[in-house]
Amino acid sequence: RAVCAAADGRVPNKYIRALAVDPSGALLIGTFTGVARYDGNQVEVLVDFLKDGFSEARLTTLAVAPDGGVWVGTDKGLLTEDGGGWKLLTTADGLLTNYISALHVDQYGAVWVGGGGSNFDGGGMLQIVP
């Protein structure tokens, strides 16, 4: 059903780039331009880059924390919810690069961020501790 949801426009884009499962068992669908949650019955768009102010960004990866927090890697930085909406973290916030190529949230809620897409945009790995 999730693939059908992508095909009929209920997710931000039909090009699916990443999948994750949240603590409730719902499937998070990371598309080229956003993220949706599919609980087996309904699709809920969590962030649509084109509508929510991130139109230049493209999703590269995503991860879910044990508390259900969603982290979205893009080619322009790291998106996270800050309680009042989505916030884009960049090198100005301490990231090593704006191209996020890998994400992992460990059992303690620490976010491991791998970055770098080419020889021109830097790279490395860092840990964000809650």
pLDDT tens-digit profile of 50-104?
999 999 999 999 999 999 999 999 999 999 997 789 999 999 999 999 999 999 9
Cα distance between residue 50 and residue 10, in whole Å: 14
> What pTM was computed for the model?
0.89
Helix H or strand E encompassing 7:
helix 2-7
Cα distance between residue 111 and residue 120, in whole Å: 24
Decide if 40 contacts 22 (C-beta within 8 A): no
Pairing label, strands 86-89, 70-74:
unpaired
